[in-house]
Each structure stands twice: as structure tokens, then as C-alpha cells.
Amino acid sequence: MKFYFFHLMPYGKVSAADLDKHGSTWLTLPNSLYDPAEGTKLYKRYIGELEYADELGFDGICVNEHHQTAYGIMPAPNVIAGALARTTKRAKICVLGRALPLISNPLHIAEEFAMIDNISDGRLIAGFVRGIGTEYFANASNPSLSHARYYEAHDLIVRAWTERGPFRHAGRHFEFDYVNIWPRPVQQPRPPIWIPSQGSSETVDWCAHPDRKYVYLQTFSPLASAKKSFDRYRDQARQHGYEASPDQLGWALPMYVAETDEQAREELRPHIEDFFNRFLRYPLEARMPPGYTSIASTKALLEQKFKQRIGAQTIDSMLDLGLVLAGSPKTILATIKARQKELGFGHLIAMLQIATQPAEQTAKSMKLFATQVMPHLKG
Amino acid sequence: MRDLEIDVNGQMLKLKEDGSGPPLLFLHGAGGSNWSPMLKLLAEKHRVIAPEHPGFGRSPTPDWMMSVGDLAFFYLDVIEKMGLNDVHLAGHSLGGWTAAEIAIRNTSKLKSVTLLAPAGCRSATVPFGDIFLWDAETATRNQFYDQKLAEERIKLLPQADLDVSLQNKATVARLAWSPRLCNPQLPLWLHRIDVPTMLLWGKEDKIVPFACHTAFVEKIKGVKLVPLAQSGHSLHTERAKECAEAMIAFCREMGK
């Protein structure tokens, strides 16, 4: 199994009263509540934590993209990835991912990723996402064109990496007379591509296709949903006439390791409850802009998933659902072994810093994980 | 009232038709098609034709329909296909915007144009309401000046057909997400509307604010502006009688 450290770079210094007043951590939470002095400290700390993960021997360090929110102050993950490309030496740099439909020029993503790949000496893992619903408000991007723009942008980026330019692209959503990116990526024929998702079957099928065989990464999901997606991936692969390897499947979830199970649970409690109940707080309408998913999927989500996730979560309900792992190194090791056997994933993405979790706890949890869990499972 | 379905160059179009007299083609707004109290009153004097736009109700968003301009060209085909002449064209909100886009393209089959709280032109000072971010209850409240009407409808929300409301919203997003609810180029061409035009607008409109009327008033020659006090966006329900009477009188006068 391979291990990755994922940072969301949350901005925790917003009071509960302010969140209640504005009713959302996203889009409309006024940025007068952002204190640049605090932000400067946080960037220093968070980049340091990513670098520490490299030192501790994690196989990869991960960043992602969200706009106009205290949930994470990383609207441009490639800025962080660029810094990490210089300060780290060994870990893969995983951008999970850039939101393709949101921008008018997908070649910028092809270029930035190629730069990171060059600067890091071929350590980039390129993630592509559509961006969650609220990004369509924040970026004035049409949610009803999201799927179409995603696929066209993806195809163009992969061509820009793998075919020699200049060539012409005349699509429905993007048009370029000259596709001829400088630099080209170091990794040949292209950097590995990972697709984070919360379990859309369309996405699973698309990743499993023999033309792509992309790493499918299940994020923020109950155990049962992760299992369903991984089983579906393997079924799809078999239907295409090949066996999917564990290397094609990744699982990302919040995790916390402390000296004992009880201590882990109690130390994580306020932060993880804050994370699900405050940092992920925004109106349903912002999650599900019209046309973002098919009507059938939208209805299914309205009826099931959000009931489960929107309602106040406690650490106990999250542990029961398998949304989160917390425990002593021994418990975590045993749990991961069991889950790995059950789910058959080859990449484990540990979100070891959550919401308002302080630096000392984060460092402790990372170190315990890297020294007492990872060595028993690596390879 | 008759329910019809016609094929226009391969696109199926559902429409409701009632009454007799000079033809009045009514284009519904973002909320979708309904035979409103205003249409009932209009059908006493007109042959009222009320289509349900492609991509609304139970019809999927057509691949070809990328903008209100496309929808306008489609309705020019509809007018041709139905053999309509001397049409009194009217539209509310998104339908009003569509009517304006039709009229800047071709007025040869039109007798008059009535725009009820039309989207299409933004105000520099007052933004449109964020119809996509509001929850259903807020959206309902913001339709009306008279909150008693809103309360009645809020009670009915749990019975709403989710398939239809999601489909309608998806199509509205396709047409009006960005630029939001307008075509920034539309004011440049409004001068091309060379048939009598009337604007009906609620002064308390929270969705397409009354302030948006200025572009239409400045650019359409001889336009008649009828501001309605104590009225919100949903004119065809909230002020059905005044609107129907104003439209019947306007069409009669312009039809002479």
C-alpha cells in the first residue's frame, strides 16, 4: 500500500457566531473575516506540515482547489504545489485536483502541471475534478455545461501532453488554433492521472475504461459507498477484459492517531465535528446548482445522501459510518488492514489535519501514523 | 382549452391554446408553463397560444439550445410553422427576454409586443435576485409583493413535481447562468423593434428589479411603460386582471 498526506488548508479563525450569522462557510461568508496576518501564519504552518510528511516518508503529499471559503484557503493549489516542488525531494506532489470546467482556458492547467512536473523532476500526480456545486457560483461557470466542459477540457489537456504541437483544437466549448505547450511534462507519455469523486458511477466507469485506467479516488464517503465504487470499478474492468489492480483505487478520509483509542477520539472530537458541521456548512442550493448532475442523480442525492451528511454529525456517528478513522496506532493499523482486505485499494490518502486541529496534535498524529502504522503496510 | 403537440423542424413543442380572436403568443418565464389567471382572462378576447419552451416540463434540455437567442430563432420557426400572422407577442420574465430577442430579429409577423417584467437587460445599480441560490421558500416569497399569496404557495411546495422543477431550473441555468439573466448585447439592438411595444413591471419586483426597465425604455421607440405599484415579479398571478385588461386594450388599439 502507498500512503499520502492530504492538506485542505482550513481557515479556522471564524467564530461560531459569525458562521451562524451568515449561515455558510462558503461563497457568502464575508472576507472581512479573513485576517491576512493569521493567513500568513497558517500558510507557513500548513506548507510546513506538507514538507514534514515528505520527511516522514509518505509516498505523496496532496493539495486541492476550493474557492471563496474558509473551508480551505487554497483557490490555486498549483501555487502550493510549485513551492513544494522546490522544498521537497522525494514525495509525489498530488494536485487533487484542478477543476476543469471552471476556467475558459484548460491549456493553462496543462501548462502549470507540466511546469510542476519539470520543476519536481517528474513527481507530479495530476488530479482532475469538476469542482463542487458552490464553485459554479463562485466562478460564474455554467453548471449545466459542467460535464461537457470537463470531458472536452480533459481530452484537450491529455492531447496537449501526449501529442506534439502545434495542433488545432476546434471543440464546442474551447477553441485553439495553436496547441503547443512549452514545457512538456517530464513523465512520459504523461503524468499519472487521479480522479477524486464521491462515488458517481459515471465517473467510476469513465476511470476504469481501458483507454484511461485512471486511479479512482473515493473521498469523504461512508465505508459502504467506497466499497460500492471499488466493486463497480473492478466489475467495469472485467467487462473490458482486464483485472483492475489495487493501484487503480484510492481511498481518502480524515484520520487521527493518538496514544490510545480514547485519547484519539477525544482529541479529534471538537475538530472533526467542527469540520462536518461548520466547515462543510452551506445551503443545499449551493451544493446542487441546476444541471450540475442529472435529474435522477440530483433527486437521489436530495432524498438520501444529504439527509445523512447534512444532519449534525458526532464523532461516533462518523466512526460508525466509516467516514473517519481515529485510534491508537495499533487500532488504526488493524482497521486499515481489515479495510484494505475488504475494499482492495492500493492508495490510502490520510487527511491528518482537520479544521481547527492545532499544530502539535497534527504533528503527533502524523508522526505516530508514519512511524507505527505505515512501516507495517508499505510496499 | 386544447393541449397540442407540434413538430418544429424535429423539435417537439407542447402548447396550450384557448379562445378566439387575434392571436396572442405568450412565452412563459423561468418557473415554467402554467395556464395562469391572466391567460384565462386574455382568452376571452384572443386566441391565446401558450407553448411550453423546449427543455421545460418533461422535455430534456435540447442540445441545440445554448442561449435565449437560439430559443428566439426557434420561436420564429414556430410562428412560421403555425402559419401565424399579425401576432400579438407577449412574454413574462425569461419569456419576456425571449420575446425581445424575437422582436429584434424579425417583426414581420408581429402586430405588437408586450413584455412583462422581462429579464434580458441588467441594471447597473440593482442586481437580479439570485434565483439559483435561494431555497424554494425564499424563491416563492420573492415572487410576490402580497405575502399572503406566497404563504399559500409555500404550503403547496411539498407537493411540487420535483422532476419538473429540476428540469426547468436546469434549462434556465443553461440559458441564463452566465451572463446572469441577460444578454449584454441586447440593448444594442432593441431599437430594431418597430412594432408597438408595452412594458408591464411591478415596482417591487425582487427578481427582475424595476430598475431594469431603463434599457428597454431608452432603446425601444414609443414604448409604453406601465409600472404597477405594490406588485412583485409574478404579475400574471398577482395582478392578473390589470395585466390582462392593459394587454387587451393595448392589442385592440394597436390592432386597428
Q: Between these two residues, B36 and A281, which has the higher pLDDT value? A: B36
Q: What is the pLDDT of residue B26?
A: 98
pLDDT (0 to 100) of residue A304: 67
Which residue of B133, B135, B166 is in closest CB contact with A137?
A: B133
Q: What pLDDT score does A220 carry?
A: 87
Tally of residues, chain B: 256
Alpha-carbon distance B165 to nearest alpha carbon in chain A (angstroms):
10
Task: Tell me whether the omega of the peptide bond preceding residue A166 falls within 30 degrees of 0, making it cis.
Answer: yes
Q: Which parts of chain A sit beneath pLDDT 50? A: none
In chain A, pLDDT over 90 holds for what percent of residues? Answer: 87
Is the Cβ pair B132, A295 closer than 8 Å?
A: no
Query: Are A295 and B166 a contacting pair at CB < 8 A?
Result: yes
Neighbours of B83 (CB within 10 A): 7
Contacts of B71 (CB under 8 A, 6+ apart): B53, B54, B65, B98, B101, B175
Between B133, B167, B178, which is nearest A141 by CB?
Answer: B178
Residues of A in contact with B133 (CB under 8 A): 27, 137, 283, 285-286
CA nearest neighbour of A76 among A99, A110, A45? A99
pLDDT at A36: 98
* Confidence check: pLDDT of B6 > 60: yes
Query: In terms of Cα–Cα distance, which of A110, A54, A108, A59 is closest to A85?
Result: A54
What distance lies between CA A54 and its chain's CA centroid? 18
DSSP collapsed to 3 states, chain A: CEEEEECCCCCCCCCHHHHHHHCCCECCCCHHHCCHHHHHHHHHHHHHHHHHHHHHCCCEEEECCCCCECCCCCCCHHHHHHHHHHHCCCCEEEEEEEEHHHCCCCHHHHHHHHHHHHHCCCCEEEEEECCCHHHHHHCCCCHHHHHHHHHHHHHHHHHHHHCCCCEEEECCCCEEEEECCCCCCCCCCCCCEEEEECCCHHHHHHHHCCCCCCEEEEECCCHHHHHHHHHHHHHHHHHCCCCCCHHHEEEEEEEEECCCHHHHHHHHHHHHHHHHHHHCCCCHHHHCCCCCCCHHHHHHHHHHHHHHHHCCCCHHHHHHHCCCEEECHHHHHHHHHHHHHHHCCCEEEEECCCCCCCHHHHHHHHHHHHHHHHHHCCC
The B residues from 43 to 62 touching A (CB cutoff 8 Å) are: 61
Closest in B135, B163, B173 to A144, CB measured: B173
Query: Structural domains in chain B?
Result: 2-255 (3.40.50.1820)
Mean pLDDT of B32-58: 96
Residue of A nearest to B139 (CA): A285
Which of A143, A283, A298 shows the shortest C-beta gap to B166? A298
Which candidate from A142, A283, A285 shows the least CB-CB separation from B177?
A: A142
Distance CA A226, CA A323 (A): 10
For A144, which of B135, B163, B177 is closest by C-beta distance? B177
| Whether B132 and A142 lie within 8 Å, measured CB to CB | no
Q: Which residues of B touch A295 (CB under 8 A)?
A: 163, 166-167, 170
Per-residue burial over A134-152, b = 16 or more CB atoms within 10 Å of its CB, e = otherwise: bbbbbbebbbbbbbebbbb
Closest residue in B to A173 (Cα–Cα): B66
Rounded to a whole number of angstroms, the distance from the CA of A304 to the nearest CA of chain B is 15
The alpha-carbon gap from B178 to the nearest alpha carbon of chain A, in Å, equals 6
Does the beta-carbon distance from A299 to B177 stay under 8 Å?
Answer: no
Rounded-to-integer distance, Cα A158 and Cα A185, Å:
11
- pLDDT the model gives residue A297: 82
Any CB–CB contact under 8 A between B132 and chain A? yes
B7 in contact with chain A, both atoms CB, cutoff 8 A: no
Among A28, A137, A144, A299, the strongest candidate for a mutation testing the B interface, having the largest count of B CBs within 10 A, is A144
Beta carbons of A290 and B180 less than 8 Å apart = no
Chain B CB within 8 Å of residue A310 CB: no
Structural domains in chain A, CATH included, are: 2-376 (3.20.20.30)
CB contact under 8 A, A285 and B170: no
Facing A142 at nearest CB: one of B134, B162, B178: B178
Mean pLDDT of B191-199: 98
Q: How far apart are CA A210 and CA A23, in angstroms?
A: 44
Chain B residues with CB under 8 Å of A291 CB are 61, 169-171, 173-174
Burial class (CB in 10 A: 0-12, 13-18, 19+), A311: exposed
* Whether the Cβ atoms of residue B71 and residue B93 lie closer than 8 Å to each other: no
Average pLDDT over every residue of B1-23: 97
**CA distance readout (Å), A297 to A145, A184, B45, B158:** 16, 38, 45, 19
Check residue B184 and give its pLDDT.
98
Taking CB atoms and an 8 Å cut-off, how many pairs form between chains A and B? 54
B178 reaches A (C-beta below 8 A): yes
Could you tell me if B208 lies within 8 Å of chain A, comparing CB atoms?
no
